[in-house]
Amino acid sequence: MAKKTGGFLPISKEDMVSRGWYYCDFLLVTGDAYVDHPSFGTAVISRVLEDAGYRVAILSQPDFRSEADFAAMGQPRYAVLINSGNIDSMVAHYTASKKRRHDDSYSPGGVGGKRPDRAVTVYAKLARRAFPNTPIYLGGLEASLRRFAHYDYWADHIMPSILQDAGADGLMFGMGEKSVLEIAANLKAGKRGPDVCKQVRGTAYFTKNAQDISFPAVWCPSMEETVEDKIKYAESVKIQYAQQDHITGKAIVQKHGHRLLVQNPPSIPLTTEEMDWVYGLPYERTYHPSYEAVGGVPAIAEVQFSIIHNRGCFGGCNFCSLAFHQGRYISSRSHESVVAEGKRIAQHPDFKGYIHDVGGPTANFRFPACKKQETQGLCQNKRCLFPKACGNLRADHSDYLKLLRQLREIPGVKKVFVRSGLRYDYMMADDNDEFFLELVKYHISGQLKVAPEHMSDHALYYMGKPSFDVYRRFKERYERINAKLGKKQYLVPYLMSSHPGAELSDAVHLAEYLHSIGYMPQQVQDFYPTPGTLSTAMYYSGVDPRTMKPVYVAKTPEEKEMQRALLQWRRPDKRAIVIKALLQAGREDLIGYGKECLIRPRPNEHFAHLHTEKPSKRHGRGRNTQPSRRTDRTTDRRAARTSNRSGGGRRDQKSNQKKKYTKHR
């Protein structure tokens, strides 16, 4: 058994020797820089194994052109564990329009190109070349969401399970603390092949023998069937989603040629005591000091002084992979554990008094949605918040509010922010204003980011989001509470274009609404078909897996650009495509001089059915002629400038605008 010595885990042979190690039990390979913080999966899994007495060495962003970096660390005694990092390597490298990104916030100095495309597969093949007889196990988001035959947006076709392409021995999906410890124990006991995984929840493996399946199982269409038939692919996704509950879920079997891919039921979620243990391990809470010379790792900035208090999300948005990865069941840490972490943060030499976030996948969930989930599992054909809040939902923020109050009382803490993933529909299901009042009073800095995603109920249905009326009422309540407290704070809505089911008319309606409130988002997220989501299955198959009915999908670059451009109709560079979209949608009435019009004609431009109202001399051509809306529109634009939607839009900020916004805040 390894003896814990504190500090960062070894990242080189020299580090191992300095600890008196001449081998490691596990070599953990990651596509991220090595950051020893509980927001990073590599840090959590390595610390969990270390706490169990295993020797773990970290191989971060190895040279992917040869196996030399793998061999340099020496052959591990039990296995090589591989992940691509905190995010999918393809998402890290490409935008939704498949344009190459130039930077990478999870790499030293933010420099891109430090990991390969399809990093898990590349690393696994290099590990096999370096250590032909050593077991290889995959984990993390990239592997988890590719555990079955899946549609790959970048290649634009169905790909087999990542286990097949990588040639690995097994895969851990979801949150892997329990499964990695069981796998480690099985390897230590001398087990090999399917025997390592076949009785371990939260794992997937290949076998040729159906008798290796240790749990009650359902079969989904084979990999070959999903390649040949898009409807079969949608059916397979529906079956896979139906079994992702730790209480009711069965094993899932999918044939790949002559072999059987077996996904065991999901891991049992961590108890509160187990989560306290995981987050109480001796993390350094920063990046490895070897990166200091190149400016560190940018990704640490948002999370170094943030706290994760929960896991899981029962929101169930169709475009989100959380239900397929972490699951919909909520686990949470104790107040004592969270406050203890807050006190450790307050003692950090770089801490300036601000806890940046107290959240998780969804910040304001502290317990399962209803009592039934604790013993009977989650409903398969119902959602807790969609299309409206379930009658059994426990909408109660009192425990979360108590936790925030305790964090505010820690000596040295000036402010505790809540910045990630607030479900406004869950807040609206809670009639008590107490949490809402304190959120606005103490936990927001000028703006609150929420995600209505759209305003067309037609589009929202396919997203799995509640009616836009819920957001409208939330906005009114937010403004009322701000007024009551004498504050001027703004909502920054995240919006998405081109989601399956969203038609051009839906985008026009959204543009009309945004125009009516004097707000144009600086950034818009175009739908990104990533593996493991119901929305991606819609995009590829053209049917909704929930109902197996056809769904409209905007796929051509022009269709997608039209929907996106309509949400930023004021941008001069979008003018031509916005006009084309309006004409195609039969909405020439929105081109003219009326206050409801999106586009003002230029000299020598001729459109049918123009409004006859002339532009105001005071405001000039092309501007809203309602003076009373200028203030609202300006402040909304200011608030939107800090919205940073991953993969969407661009920032065009002038220095004088930055100064005004800073002064305003």
Distance CA 287, CA 99 (A): 29
User: Which residues, in sequence order, are bridge partners of residue 260?
Assistant: 207, 255
Q: Phi/psi of residue 660, each to 5°?
A: -65, -45
Nearest 10 degrees: Cα torsion 242, 200, 263, 124: 140
Q: Is 253 helix (H, G, I), strand (E, B) or coil?
A: strand
Strands (E), 164-258: 170-172, 203-207, 217-219, 251-256
The answer to whether the Cα torsion of 309, 202, 302, 528 is positive or negative is negative
Residue 430: what residue type?
Answer: D
Q: Is 490 helix (H, G, I), strand (E, B) or coil?
A: strand
The enclosing H or E element of 181 equals helix 177-188
CB 297 within 8 A of CB 35: yes
Q: With beta carbons less than 8 A apart as the criterion, state whether 463 and 535 touch.
A: yes
Strands lying side by side in the sheet with 447-453 = 447-453, 490-497, 525-526
Give the whole-angstrom CA distance, residue 325 versus residue 321.
6
Can you tell me whether residue 79 is helix, strand or coil?
Answer: strand
Q: How far apart are CA 608 and CA 534, in angstroms?
A: 41
Under 8 Å between Cβ of 52 and 24:
no
Contact status, residue 290 vs residue 9, Cβ threshold 8 Å: no
317 annotated as ligand-binding: yes
User: How does strand 170-172 pair with strand 203-207?
Assistant: antiparallel
Closest by CA to 203, choosing from 151, 258, 135, 294, is 135
Angle value at C-alpha 391, between 551 and 323, nearest 5 degrees: 50
Q: How many residues does the chain have?
A: 665
3-state secondary structure of 323: helix
Query: How far apart (Å, rounded) are the C-alpha atoms in residues 549 and 532?
Result: 20
Give the SS3 label for residue 355: strand
Strand segments, DSSP code E, in 202-250 are 203-207, 217-219
Where are the extended beta strands (E) located within 88-143?
136-138
203 backbone dihedrals φ, ψ, rounded to 5°: -130, 160
Inter-residue contact 647 to 96 (CB < 8 Å): yes
Best CA proximity match to 103, nearest among 286, 294, 292: 294
370 is in an annotated binding site: no
The answer to whether 379 is a known ligand-binding residue is: no
| Alpha-carbon distances of 451 from 327, 470, 549, rounded to whole Å | 20, 12, 26
Q: Which single residue is written with the structure tokens 């399956």?
A: 500
DSSP 294: G
CB of 518 within 8 A of CB of 638?
A: no
- Residues comprising the binding site for [4Fe-4S] cluster? 313, 317, 320
- Residues comprising the binding site? 313, 317, 320
